[in-house]
């Protein structure tokens, strides 16, 4: 788990670390190889992010993994077997989200350009990090 020393509970608003392009490129390539033909990124517009950030008491944004498909008991069992086999084969790494700014034309703002943009990686992965919430987005009910 990549949790920096400064990431402590309670949340301070300083969580997260810059990320270098080489590591980000390798991690996204790893994901694409493990999940071919699947979505590889999501874009959130500045206005919705600012609305979230401007809520009273907000210290940052948590991003959840989600899926719109509800599995039957049989499908959950099959996935459980598949995941056990993946772990046994050593084909399971840490899942990460990498955040990049994007310009008006949709171009990613990457490090190494004249503007010296930055990438960010998840700061507090849940479960496992201090302060992970327990609610309907994190647990089976």
pLDDT per residue as tens digits for the range 34-78:
888 888 888 888 998 999 888 888 888 888 878 888 889 999 999
Residue 91 pLDDT > 50: yes
In what helix (H) or strand (E) does residue 39 lie, and over which residues does it extend? none
Interval 23-35 mean pLDDT: 89
Return d(Cα 133, Cα 21) in angstroms, integer: 30
């Amino acid at each position: 788990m990549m949790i920096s020393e400064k990431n402590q509970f309670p949340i301070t608003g300083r969580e997260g670390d810059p990320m270098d392009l080489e590591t980000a490129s390798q991690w996204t390539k790893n994901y694409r190889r493990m999940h071919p033909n699947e979505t590889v990124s999501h874009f959130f517009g500045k206005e919705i992010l600012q609305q979230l950030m401007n809520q009273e008491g907000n210290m940052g944004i948590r991003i959840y993994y989600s899926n719109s498909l509800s599995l039957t008991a049989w499908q959950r069992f099959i996935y459980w077997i598949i995941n056990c086999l993946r772990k046994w084969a050593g084909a399971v790494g840490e899942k990460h989200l990498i955040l990049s700014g994007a310009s008006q034309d949709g171009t990613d703002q990457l490090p190494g350009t004249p503007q010296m943009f930055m990438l960010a990686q998840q700061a507090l992965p849940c479960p496992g990090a201090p302060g992970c919430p327990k609610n309907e987005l994190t647990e089976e009910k």
